[in-house]
Amino acid sequence: MDYVEFGRYLSQQRELRGLSRDEVSRVTKISPSLLAALEEGQIERLPNRVFIVNYIRSYATVIGLAPEEAILRYEEVDKAAPEPSPVTLERERRRRAWLILAVVLLVLAAGVFAALVVTGKVALPQPRP
What residues contact residue 74 under an 8 Å CB cut-off, 6+ apart? 6, 52, 53, 56
CB 70 within 8 A of CB 37: no
CATH class of the 3-80 domain in this structure: mainly alpha
Could you count the other beta carbons within 10 Å of the beta carbon of residue 54? 15
pTM tops 0.95, yes or no: no
Give me the pLDDT at residue 81, please. Answer: 66
Condensed to tens digits (0 to 9), the pLDDT of residues 37-71 reads 999 999 899 998 899 999 999 999 999 999 999 99
Q: What is the mean pLDDT of residues 10-18?
A: 96
Read off the pLDDT band of 82 (50, 70, 90).
Answer: low
Condensed to tens digits (0 to 9), the pLDDT of residues 106-129 reads 999 999 999 999 998 988 888 887
CB 13 within 8 A of CB 63: yes
Burial of 37 (0-12, 13-18, 19+ CB in 10 A): buried
Read off the pLDDT band of 89 (50, 70, 90).
Answer: confident
Phi first, then psi, for residue 123 (nearest 5°) are -100, 135
